[in-house]
Structure 1
Amino acid sequence: MRQNPSFAMTDLVEIRRIIEANPWATIVSAGDSGLVASHYAVLLDDSRSDLTIVGHVGRPDEQIHDLGSGELLVIFQGPHGYISPRWYGKGPAVPTWNFIAVHLSGVPELLSAEENLVVLDRLVDRFEGEGPDSRRLWSAPNDEDFVRRLERGTVGFRLTPTRVAAKRKLSQNRPDDVVDTIITALASGDGAYSDPRLPAEMRRDLDTRKAAR
């Protein structure tokens, strides 16, 4: 990802927030047969305060990625959307795309079966929610034999990144009044190709930059 100092994300807390809010990740590796990409839910390691992540892949994906022997690139995609030039005013302008993305690179360590079970349990808890009919990993009718067979079909990993590239492109290069116009347009549904969370991220960024002046 080409980096621009104006759009670079360097704050650890903010990067963790983006990862936490966007756990569906793209996992990329380069092997003998070329580039391979897979898609899995990935979480921050809750025993650490850095950018270490934990997750799992299925056994076939573990083989094609040769997991644990080479570098992985894990991509987290935050809110994004098309920005129309009509929101910039009357001067010459072209469209662009606003987005937030985090790239973590490193060689993962493989988890033991028990560590993998903890991660799988966390994943189910995270997404199943707290409803009265929520089905946890260890909830009946799942029994221990079933859960452990499930675990054996996956390979858990922990990755502490050695390289981090994080980018928040949210019209920071535009005047505040133009950014306000874009936020209003996106929030009104005028942006046909945007995540509804994008205007909130732009407002958060704009307010933070104003407070720092």
Structure 2
Amino acid sequence: MHPNTQFHWQDREAMADFIGALGFGMVFAETPHGPRVAHVPAILEEGRLLFHLAKGNALSKHLDGQSALFLFNGPDAYVSPDWYGEPDQVPTWNYVSVELEGPVSTLSRDELVAQIDGLSATQEARFDKTPWTRAKMRDGLFEKMLGGIAGFALEPKAWRGTTKLGQNKSAEAISSAADAIEVNGRPAIAHWMRNLST
């Protein structure tokens, strides 16, 4: 989380919506071989963050019972000082992110299947097509593939959100920078800057 409290994001419901919209993040944890990270899809259900990893992943055999950090990165962009339209500015980077920290436990087989089904159903609902389900797989293949992954649940004890969007600047400077950022190919972060209340 950014040290400037102006950029702290406290709205858990909005952060949960942000996590749901992204559906993909990074889990960090300590292992006997040093810190490791894995990039994984995840879904929030009943207050827990559910995800799965390949059993061969360097984190898989070290997560159960350990505290971990899960990071969701949203849009970001470099901000040129010239874009504020005000003197004596410096370069910076605007971004949106949410960190969840807490203990991790292993999912049962049934919980893992439910996590996969829930994750795919959530993502498939975004498309204008008949949703994919496990029923489309040939008999026995899902069970075979299931043996290669491990499911986990992180119980968030800490939520840390950051919306660094120029809140320490004037409304005119934010608008000017957002316009320049959008012109330079980063419309998502420009949208966040124009809608600071979200």
1:57 paired with 2:48, answer no
- Equivalent residue, structure 2, for 1:3: 3
Superposed displacement of residue 65, structure 1:
5.3
- Equivalent residue, structure 2, for 1:96: 92
Alpha carbons of structure 1 residues 76 and 63: separation in structure 2 relative to 1, 3 Å = closer
Q: Distance in 1 between matches of 2:59 and 2:76?
A: 32
TM-score normalised to structure 1 length = 0.84
User: Aligned to 1:60, what secondary structure does the other structure show?
Assistant: coil
Superposed displacement of residue 83, structure 1:
0.8
Q: Distance in 1 between matches of 2:26 and 2:117?
A: 21
Q: Name the stretch that deviates more: 93-102 or 58-67.
A: 58-67
TM-score normalised to structure 2 length = 0.90
Q: Is the 8 A contact 1:108 1:158 kept in 2?
A: yes
Alpha carbons of structure 1 residues 153 and 38: separation in structure 2 relative to 1, 3 Å = same
- Equivalent residue, structure 2, for 1:77: 73
RMSD (CA atoms): 2.0
Gaps of 5+ in 2: none
1:202 paired with 2:166, answer no
1:167 paired with 2:158, answer no
Identical residues among aligned pairs (%): 25
- In the TM superposition, 1:142-157 aligns within 5 A as 142-143=138-139, 145-157=140-152
Instruction: Give the AA of the match of 1:58.
Output: A
Q: Is the 8 A contact 1:36 1:65 kept in 2?
A: no
Alpha carbons of structure 1 residues 141 and 110: separation in structure 2 relative to 1, 3 Å = closer
Q: Distance in 1 between matches of 2:44 and 2:29?
A: 20
Q: Distance in 1 between matches of 2:156 and 2:14?
A: 16
Q: Is the 8 A contact 1:29 1:36 kept in 2?
A: yes
Q: Is the 8 A contact 1:29 1:72 kept in 2?
A: yes
Superposed displacement of residue 171, structure 1:
0.3
- Equivalent residue, structure 1, for 2:181: 186
Alpha carbons of structure 1 residues 90 and 200: separation in structure 2 relative to 1, 3 Å = closer
Superposed displacement of residue 94, structure 1:
1.1
User: Aligned to 2:135, what secondary structure does the other structure show?
Assistant: coil
- Equivalent residue, structure 2, for 1:31: 31
Q: Is the 8 A contact 1:3 1:165 kept in 2?
A: no
Superposed displacement of residue 67, structure 1:
1.7
> Aligned pair count?
197
Alpha carbons of structure 1 residues 2 and 175: separation in structure 2 relative to 1, 3 Å = closer
Higher strand proportion: 2
User: Aligned to 1:6, what secondary structure does the other structure show?
Assistant: helix
